[in-house]
Amino acid sequence: MTVQLLNVVDVEATCWEGQPPPGAVSEIIEIGLTVVDLAQGRRIGRHRVLVRPRRSTVSAFCTELTGLTQAEVDSGLSFAEACRLLAVEHRSGERPWASWGDYDRHQFTRQCAATGTAYPFGARHTNAKAVFTAARGLRKRPGMAQALVLAGLPLEGRHHRGEDDAWNIAALVLAVAADGAWPVA
């Protein structure tokens, strides 16, 4: 039996309606990760890592969007600890990974550079949104929720919650893979 594991990642970050307050920057506050066995065509692990922001706080707008509160993320890991956990427990440096678009990859790159934290992922990243769009012959790249509708899949959990979004993106990855359109890593 062949095992081909893929980490599907979705992050939520501090955000504001309009401009951030002076001195605040967007920081990861939740990492959702679903492990997908591409060979078996199934999701085999669902994980959530809360991350404590250092240079910003969770705004009322952010709580409304994600459901995450400042008190909740205060109990999370530091960003560096979260990156180490990804590397050790989820083999993020070895496994290929995917996200819906490039935001998550860029946010990790920016935050690692700003904090001096080692980037936890390897070079094998796939933009699942681009692959889905090409596989469906679409002109515009849909958001995750719209892609689920197009694929005839349910939205499971809360949209804009990292753990739930990673789970839903993984379902889209598996749908594309079932059609033979997922790139071989």
Per the DSSP assignment, residues forming a β-bridge with 7 are 35, 97
pTM for this predicted structure: 0.96
Q: The tokens 């180490």 sit on which residue?
A: 84
> CA–CA separation, 135 vs 138, rounded Å?
8
Percentage of the chain exceeding pLDDT 90: 97
Please report, for the chain, the start and end positions of each structural domain, with discontinuous segments joined by +.
Answer: 5-178
- Could you tell me if 169 and 8 are in contact, meaning their C-beta atoms sit under 8 angstroms apart? yes
- Could you tell me if 5 and 38 are in contact, meaning their C-beta atoms sit under 8 angstroms apart? yes
> Binning pLDDT at 50, 70 and 90, where does residue 3 land?
low
Of 138, 131, 142, 140, nearest in space to 181 by CA: 131
Class in CATH terms, 5-178 = alpha beta
Predicted local confidence at residue 185, as pLDDT: 59
